[in-house]
Structures are given as structure tokens and as C-alpha cells.
Amino acid sequence: MNRTQPRGAYPGGTVEPLTQPNPVIIVIFGAAGDLTWRKLVPALYTLFVDGWMPERFAIVGLDLKPMSDEEFRARLRSGVDEFSRCGRPDDDAWRLFASHLSYRSADLGSSEAYRMLAGLLEEQCGRWDLDAFIIHYLATPPALFEVIPPRLAAAGLARDRTGSRIVVEKPFGRDLESARALNRILTAVFDESQIFRIDHYLGKETVQNILAFRFANALFEPIWDRRYIDHVQVTVAEQIGIEHRGAYYERTGALRDMIQNHLVQILCLIAMEPPVSFDADEIRNRMTDVLRAIRPIHPDRVHESAVRGQYGAGWISGERVPAYRAEPGVSPGSTTETFAAIRFFVDNWRWQDIPFYMRTGKRMPARVSEVVIQFRPVPHQSFPATAIRDWQPNRLVLRIQPDEGILLRFQAKRPGLRVNLSPVDMHFFYREAFRAVPPEAYETLLVDVMLGDATLFKRTDQIEAAWSIMTPILEAWEVSSPPDFPNYAAGTWIVEPAEVLIARDGRNWLMPAASPRDRDEEK
């Protein structure tokens, strides 16, 4: 993760040495889709304005939909207006950026499309009179992930193993077997070092900060283990439903959509051993060690460790929202889970028998992602019972989003003539400490792809290990339909099976930590 800010194509950029390839051509497959509009191009635009794009670059969009360059640019501008971190572009900056964008309508399953692309790339390099570094970005529906690499190879576009990279979005497979098949297809054409499998959670500042917090401070690492930690909870709650993605979500569900990738990667960062260096493979080796140490869930005992839910109609922020089964593109008898909660154990010296509870759901009351490290009680309580009526063990909360920050809960003596202890919270907020809006995950990840830094991308073995862990759950859920769906109302935290799962261990889900600001509003 050595990001040296380069001199860019935009005059406002800084003047530090250029470390990414120049020129670079980013080919976006699936450029008429939502991801390009909502995430990729707004991130690329911000990188451009901040001086991270190389002096010579081109972004070529490919998709089936017929569109002229002008229509493509107009569509992307609306996405940048709405989603870019640096706000609505001024006309001059946009014009300059838009001159790097072009679009071709193409059937990505046909060889013709790739011959056309080869011609286009040659033409562009001819204009620069230089060979460009090519980044193939697969932002397509997953069925095309298998189609595009062999077609690129057949058109001679993957011949130079040092001149290109390929970025593959999620979902990477839908189970272990399909992930393996996809890995075989990709590695037949590209070297592992050229393949960048995205998990956008790893690009989030707060997720990366888990490494900084753990390994750049001497304070926490000595107590970061089973002797001091009682358990860990990871919550990724979303207020949104499935929006217009009914067809995708029906095939996917919460386990594949969120737990197999985003939540498991967070678990790896929390549980990994200290790396020897920040080398990409060293970090990924340590993360993979965690995956390998996760205790396999016995197929007959899945119900003890993994539960699911689906939302019914309810209220979110004062608005009535429909049940999952009433969403467009969803079958009225759907058994797809929109909520999943799982208890994992990591079988190694550091974590033996310490539960990691993970939960994620759509249509929860709030959008909040956080990791709670719940410490054990003090070994001996010296204070009189009257002093510790409010006493609670220490808790550390890593707030991933929103209100990015960290909370540490400890006991303090209440002011007064008697000894009375109360828990108090110490807060750190990124925005206040650094007075900056953190970069979007896609900005970070796109820069890393250009720099060739794979630290935050998943390797073949990581992907396959993560799918292996999910296999018994996927198989058990496939053969037994949940009898009680929908089993939570939109807008509630309580999903009964998840409550039972954790209560059996004598614990409960901790309410997401309210920031002082939220609490001020509540008063």
C-alpha cells in the first residue's frame, strides 16, 4: 500500500513523481451498467481532479446498449454529479475529463467485439505513439466473467503479461466449485499478479485502518486474544432493500452477497497475526491463515451456527416499505435470505473458543457497519457491590460506517463523595481528527490497480478458502426451506433466530453504538 501521489493529467494535480503506468487505457466491460455510473466513473473523476490519473489515459466503455460517445458522457456526468466525492464538476474540469471517455456498443459474447477492441486500442496507442498499459475492468453481470478472458486471449489482448491487468467484480462464483472454475479460466489467460478480484469493503478507509489500529499501536496487541477478549461481533446493517436488483438478489441472498466476502474479510483483519511487512502477499498470507483456521461447520449442525431471515413489510424512517417478496423481480414465495447471522470460531492459539458473531441484513432500522470487540470482565472485582451497579466490561467499537471512528468504553468514577462507577465512552471521529472526507473505496482500489498493488485484492486461495467455509451452510440452506419467512419486519433489529443463536451462548447482540451526535439529537 505505497501510494505516492503522482503528477496527473489535471492541472490541479500535485507534482510528485509518477508511479503508475503512463499511458493507461481502462476498458470497462459493462459500461452501461449501474456500477460504472454510480461508483467507477465518479471515483475516476475524483482521482483525475486530485491528480492521481496519469498524464495520458483513456477510458473506453463497452456494452450492448447502443449509445454515442456524447450520450455516454452525458450519462456519466449525471452519475458524477450525484455520487462523486468532490461534488458536481465545474464545466471546464468535466470537459477535460470527458475528452478521455469513449464508448462502443458491442456484444461481449462475440469474438467480433474483441477484434474491434483490439483495433481501438491499437488506434489509441498509435495516437500517443506509445504502448499503453491496459486495465480490463469486468463490471458486467457475472455470467460474462467466464466469457471475457478467453475472448481477450483469442484476440491477442492478453499476450503481454506485463502490459495488462484484469479487475473482476463480485460475485466471484456462487459456490466453491464455480469459484474454482472461474479461477481456472482467469489463470489460464492471466498471471495471478495480473488479476485483481475486488472486495470494495477492503478499500474502505476504516477497514484498512483496522491494520493501522492493530499494528501501529503497542497498546492493544498484547490484549488482542482469547485471554482478554470475550467475543467479537461484526454487524453490517443496511436500511436499503434490494432496490432494482431483484433478479440478482434472488440468486444470491445475504450469505453470498455480504458474508462470504465483506464480513469474512473484516473477520480476517481482526483475527490475523501481525504481518512481518506490508508486502501484498505477506498481508494476504496472514489473512488466508485466518480463513484456514476457521472451524468448519458440521453439515448436520449448521442450524447451531448459522441462521437466516427475510424481511416482511414494515416502516423505515417513517415510510412504509414492502416485503421482500413484494419487491420487483422477486418470486412471491421466495426463500432467499435478506438477513444472515453466523457464529464462527477461529481454531488457533490466539482465538481458540472465542466466538465471532457476524450478522448482516437489508431493511434494518439504520445503515451501520461496525466491529465490536467485547473484553472480558476484570478478574477480580475489588469495588463494593453498591459501587458497580452500572459496571460493564470494556468494549472497543470500530465504526466502519457511517460516522467513521472508534469508541472505547471504560469505567470511571462518577463525581461525588461516594464511590460509584459508570461506563463512559471515548470517541474518535475521522472527520474531526483529520478534517477530511475519506476517499471512496473505489478511488483507493482503482489507484491500487493502476499501481499494481494487490494488498487489498483477493487471491485465488483466499477466494476458495472463503467459499469452503460457506459450503456446508449453502448446502444445508438449499435443501431445507425456511418455514417462517418472512420472519422480521422491515425496520427492526430483532430477527428471532439470530437472537436465539447468540442467547444460547448467554450473550446478546449489542446495539450499534450511537455517536454523541445521535445522542444529542435524541435528547
Interface positions with ligand BG6 (CB under 6 A): 170, 238, 257
Residue 421 has φ and ψ, to the nearest 5°, of: -105, 145
Q: Which is nearer to ligand BG6, 260 or 515 (CB)?
A: 260
Q: Which is nearer to ligand BG6, 40 or 67 (CB)?
A: 40
Provide the sign of the torsion angle of the four alpha carbons 490, 169, 306, 352, taken in this order: negative
Q: Which is nearer to ligand BG6, 400 or 502 (CB)?
A: 400
The CB-of-512 to ligand BG6 minimum distance in angstroms stands at: 14
Q: Which is nearer to ligand BG6, 257 or 464 (CB)?
A: 257
In the block, which residue shows the cell 496487541? 221
| 378, three cell numbers | 476484570
Please indicate whether residue 262 is annotated as part of the active site. yes
Answer yes or no: are the C-beta atoms of 28 and 138 closer than 8 Å.
Answer: no
Question: Measured at the alpha carbon of residue 253, what is the angle toward residues 368 and 194, in degrees to the nearest 5?
Answer: 85
Question: Measured at the alpha carbon of residue 297, what is the angle toward residues 291 and 298, in degrees to the nearest 5?
Answer: 145
**294 CB-near residues (< 8 Å, 6+ apart):** 344, 345, 346, 347, 469
Q: Which is nearer to ligand BG6, 8 or 241 (CB)?
A: 241
The CB-of-236 to ligand BG6 minimum distance in angstroms stands at: 7
Question: Measured at the alpha carbon of residue 30, what is the angle toward residues 29 and 33, in degrees to the nearest 5?
Answer: 155
Q: Which residues pair with 61 in a beta bridge?
A: 28, 103
Q: Alpha-carbon distance 289 to 254, whole Å?
A: 24
The CB-of-130 to ligand BG6 minimum distance in angstroms stands at: 36
In the block, which residue shows the cell 458524477? 80
| Other C-beta atoms lying within 10 Å of the C-beta of residue 167 | 22
What is the pairing mode between strands 339-345 and 306-309?
antiparallel
Nearest CA-CA partner of 194 in 517, 499, 502, 460 = 460
**308 CB-near residues (< 8 Å, 6+ apart):** 253, 254, 255, 337, 339, 340, 341, 477, 482, 497
Selected catalytic residue, list 244, 262, 298, 303: 262
The CB-of-12 to ligand BG6 minimum distance in angstroms stands at: 27
Q: Which is nearer to ligand BG6, 231 or 458 (CB)?
A: 458
Q: How far is CA 222 from the centre of its chain?
A: 28
Nearest CA-CA partner of 455 in 292, 267, 287 = 287
Q: Which is nearer to ligand BG6, 205 or 238 (CB)?
A: 238
Coil, strand, or helix at residue 515?
Answer: coil
Q: DSSP for 69-89?
A: HHHHHHHHHHHHHHH-TT-SP
Q: Which is nearer to ligand BG6, 58 or 368 (CB)?
A: 368
By annotation, the residues acting in catalysis are 262
